[in-house]
Structure 1
Amino acid sequence: MFRHILIPSDGSAASQLAVNAALRMARESGARVTAVHVLPEEPALASVAAAPTENTILADIARQAHTLNVDCTTLEVHAEQPHSAIVSTALQRNCDLIAMASRGRSGLASLMLGSQTQKVLTHSKIPVLVFREG
């Protein structure tokens, strides 16, 4: 079973479904989680992406994990290539699973997760569990 699950989140509804499922999986298996939110490295994009609701994404995940008695670490990463940041964070943190949504937000925010899922699948040597809406 998995011992350490990386959960990338962009705060979208699809991402929240993946967070919920991954946290339940962690609780049932006794795994710990690291929740990561990737922001653009470009300063102009980072200020747009770091809206007040964005600042609560990791705090909300930490609260959910606490409620489920799941050990949770949160991490905000600034990166030019979100998929690379997700994969490298999983490796650096010794995660044995990446659990993420099949797509994220639309528009500018979709660059942060949804369009990155395929790239994570392609570049990760760690298993990736993809959650679909519906």
Structure 2
Amino acid sequence: MQSIVLITNCNQILSLINSQCKGDDISSYKKGNQLNIEMENGRVYITLSNEIVEDFEYGEMQCIHKLFPDTIFFYLICYTNNAVLNKLMKQLIFKEKVYVDDDKGNIFTFNEFKEYCLKTFVE
């Protein structure tokens, strides 16, 4: 699995992602997968269906907050299956300005990232 960080100020984003993950057309996701973010003892834990898939120091998040004030971190957990990522990208639409961190330090707007995915990944 690879993780994509969506950095946004949209409070509704988690429910949107959770609803997209339940779709039958996204075969690599099981119905009922829930994406959650919790903080404990200075660490942020990202869980998908109660399994921890990512954790990081709260300080790492604060560094991003300096660049993007008033933002919240969300992890979209994608399988490396390009067809699944392509389907998910087609369904996700954000009115707010959303940034994507590709885990290599590159930050794109979500629309730029979506265009890249749709051009690059074959269904």
TM interval, short-chain normalised: 0.3 to 0.5
Looking at secondary structure, tell me which structure has more strand per residue: 2
TM-score by length of 2: 0.37
Structure number with larger C-alpha Rg = 2
